[in-house]
Amino acid sequence: MPREFKTVGLWGRLDERAVAEPALQVLKHLKKRGITVFASVESDGNDAFGEATRVAEKDLVPAVDLVVAVGGDGTLLHAARHVAGRDVPLLGINRGRLGFLTDISPDHMLQAMDLILAGDYLSERRSMLAARLASRSDDETLLAVNDVVLQKGETGRMLDFTTVVDGVYVNTHRGDGLIVATPTGSTAYALSCGGPIIQPNVSALVMVPICPHTLSDRPLVLPSTSTIRVTLEQDTHSAAHVMCDGEARAKLGAGETVTISLATQTVTLLHPRDYNYYDLLRSKLNWGRANRDHRPARG
């Protein structure tokens, strides 16, 4: 059954003009519909969003039925970690460069909002990753929608990682780092490192080496139920940065281990009824275009 959305939260860098302009249009449109709109006080230093109820960022999600992320995919990923485990869906309006997740253009956003408020939308549940560092005493779990990346922090130094999947030794990787990605994240950093594109509804994870020293060290597709233990080798002379969806969250020292598995939390994304994943791939990756027609003339 479609949900009724009476309260909506605006998420994004509302102090930036490219984001503020469409966000203000959404705000005014929703207010005319009788929707209560919330915005984060951290995101805007002026009174442009005075018609919205201002709350602290940490208090935004508990106050709303729907979060509208205005910006790029990074904005939506940041919002996703806040809505994780809560029954609050996300809608993305694209003001970034690529827009795999923020798939609604500003030209169609008001029409899309009306359809979603009327219950005419697609709801899609996306899986998340949970990363735990054995060395951290606070037992904090790091969450990611796209990927958990272990990467070098010093230029010119390679890292050595040992990977164990479900208690079975897999490989010792030497290179610039390692990516563990969800199907959602398969079109992000993992794709640029040669990883496969995985449909979001496929139950799988992918482990992708970054610039491996050995060319035969290739991406590995794993069951989504896998538990992946990655250890930075003891004789490695540089720490690894633990990145979750592009944000540095921790450091992994020599001999330390991070355990990565599917999180119990998920994120729900809303799309217009005509959303099609293959259309999205063709659009964003320029599939099927006659590139030969755009070759520069020979001198």
Taking the CA of residue 184 as centre, how many other CA atoms within 13 Å lie in the half-sphere pointing to its CB? 25
Q: Say how far apart CA 58 and CA 80 lie, in whole Å.
A: 13
Burial class (CB in 10 A: 0-12, 13-18, 19+), 29: middle
Amino acid at 297: A
Strands 7-11 and 159-165: unpaired
Taking the CA of residue 299 as centre, how many other CA atoms within 13 Å lie in the half-sphere pointing to its CB? 0
Q: Say how far apart CA 183 and CA 141 lie, in whole Å.
A: 20
Q: Say how far apart CA 175 and CA 168 lie, in whole Å.
A: 21
Catalytic residue among 15, 44, 59, 73: 73
103 tagged catalytic? no
Burial class (CB in 10 A: 0-12, 13-18, 19+), 98: middle
Residues 6+ apart with CB under 8 A from 163: 169, 170, 171, 172, 173, 178, 207, 228, 229, 230
Catalytic positions, written as ranges: 73
